[in-house]
Amino acid sequence: MLLAAVAPIARVLAQPRAVGEQSALRVGGPHAERIGALWNLMLWVGLAATVLTFALLAWALFRRRRPDELPPEADRPADPRGERANDESGGRGRAGRGRPASERQGARWMVAGGIVFPTVVLLVVLVATLQTLGAVAAPANALAARDGAIDAAPRADELAIEVVGRQYWWEVRYLDAQPARIFTTANELRIPVGRRVLLRLRSGDVIHSFWVPGLQGKMDLIPGRVNVLPLQADRPGVWRGQCAEFCGVQHGKMALTVVAEPPARFVAWQAAQRAEPALPRDSLALADRQAFLASGCTLCHTVRGTDARGAMGPDLTHVGSRLTLAAGTLPNSPGNLHGWIADPQAHKPGSLMPAVPMTAPELHAIARYLTTLR
């Protein structure tokens, strides 16, 4: 019985990461650096307070007291009449002047250690937290304050990307002042190194939360609302992100990938993404394309330049160039692509992608065609 309960958890934990690592300690951008500095401050302040507290506790428990430090009633039995009638303490409990020196000293320690010290520590952490939040959120707040800026086309000097959270994947639209230059991808963000990107976060169904801990803090995607989040990477690399708000049974497998690359490579990638897939040049590739267009895949997915115009699932126009499949669940390889198409529920139970009935030759043809969409 125990093994049967543990087996599903073990299978999930044993699955390799599709790409990169997800860690707030692997900092790659200015916003993550500010958050990391706040974390270091809280870590060291908390550690110092903990060490000091235990040191004082040990001192209070194990120090040897001199005879003159003992209160006058320490070696006497308790007064059955109660504390108010304890004449040896001069009315202890009602006035501080008659208390023993040890009690007056203890009261001062309680005030200093229980009120003054925590207030100073928490005030320092509060000020640092507010400063960090202001620095991280200031660009987003400035954009949101502009009338109509969120839904308007981006300015010439802005790189704006619309990210829509869906169960359980990410729709990514690269916006532009010229509608013909807008293109859509899924589950992967490519950004140029050293340039601030403004993410316009929306939800297509329930509440999600966008979180790439190596580059930025969290931001919720709320139905009917647009939130803006600045994102920037200062060096090339690949960062894993995650939906950080429980959004359904496959919330844990709603990941995304952020790829930061030099500006020239990013511009070349943009140009390739705007283009339609190349037409097949041989009979086998043409047959593979026809197999895909004749399948049920076209009811949910889009491939620009073809009759596949479904809108329920991710855009597959350049799926072969992406690093992962199924929103970061699997590395993008031919074997994983075959398995994902054949039985999505085996990899992502509860996802909205059904297993479409098809023969083995049809499966191989569709998988081959999708790998060419680069």
pLDDT at position 156: 77
Number of domains in the chain: 3
* 4 in a structural domain: no
CATH number for the domain that contains residue 228: 2.60.40.420
Q: Are residues 165 and 70 in the same domain?
A: no
Residues β-bridged to residue 257: 188, 240
Q: Is the pLDDT of residue 97 over 60?
A: no
* 7 in a structural domain: no
Q: Is the pLDDT of residue 345 over 70?
A: yes
Q: Are residues 288 and 230 in the same domain?
A: no
Alpha helices in the chain (DSSP H): 2-14, 30-62, 101-111, 117-145, 263-274, 283-293, 334-342, 344-347, 360-371
φ, ψ for residue 257, nearest 5 deg = -120, 135
Instruction: Give the integer Cα–Cα distance in Å for 204 and 229.
Output: 17
* 351 in a structural domain: yes
pLDDT at position 115: 87
The dihedral over CA atoms of 333, 337, 338, 343, expressed in degrees to the nearest 10, equals 140
Mean pLDDT score of the chain, rounded to an integer? 83
Q: Is the pLDDT of residue 85 over 60?
A: no
Last residue of one domain, picked from the residues 115, 145, 175 = 145
Last residue of one domain, picked from the residues 242, 274, 306 = 274
Q: Are residues 257 and 321 in the same domain?
A: no
Alpha helices in 87-246 (DSSP H): 101-111, 117-145
> Which DSSP category does 99 fall into?
S
Q: Are residues 113 and 220 in the same domain?
A: no
Q: Is the pLDDT of residue 179 over 90?
A: no
Average pLDDT over residues 174-198: 92
More confident residue, 150 or 31: 31
pLDDT at position 17: 56
Q: Are residues 246 and 316 in the same domain?
A: no
Q: Is the pLDDT of residue 71 over 80?
A: no
Average pLDDT over residues 107-129: 87
* 18 in a structural domain: no
pLDDT tens, residue by residue, 209-259: 999 999 998 999 999 988 889 999 999 999 999 999 999 989 989 999 999
pLDDT at position 91: 46
pLDDT at position 260: 95
Instruction: Give the integer Cα–Cα distance in Å for 206 and 221.
Output: 8
Instruction: Give the integer Cα–Cα distance in Å for 26 and 44.
Output: 19
Q: Output the CA–CA distances (angstroms, integers) from residue 232 to 86, 149, 212, in the order listed.
A: 69, 20, 11
Instruction: Give the integer Cα–Cα distance in Å for 313 and 170.
Output: 10
* 1 in a structural domain: no
**Do 216 and 199 touch, CB atoms closer than 8 A?**
no
Tokens of 40: 């270091």
* 333 in a structural domain: yes
Share of the chain above pLDDT 70, in %: 80
- Among 335, 303, 331, 333, CA closest to 317: 303
Least confident of 73-87, 184-198, 201-215: 73-87
Q: Are residues 60 and 121 in the same domain?
A: yes
Q: Are residues 225 and 325 in the same domain?
A: no
Q: Are residues 291 and 209 in the same domain?
A: no
pLDDT at position 184: 94
Q: Are residues 326 and 358 in the same domain?
A: yes
Instruction: Give the integer Cα–Cα distance in Å for 123 and 235.
Output: 34
pLDDT tens, residue by residue, 259-304: 999 999 999 999 999 999 888 888 998 999 999 999 999 999 999 9
Instruction: Give the integer Cα–Cα distance in Å for 169 and 187.
Output: 6
pLDDT at position 93: 46
pLDDT at position 139: 63
Q: Is the pLDDT of residue 74 over 60?
A: no
**Do 170 and 164 touch, CB atoms closer than 8 A?**
yes
- Please give the model's pTM, rounded to 2 decimal places: 0.79
Instruction: Give the integer Cα–Cα distance in Å for 135 and 35.
Output: 10
Q: Are residues 69 and 42 in the same domain?
A: yes
Domain that holds residue 307: 283-371
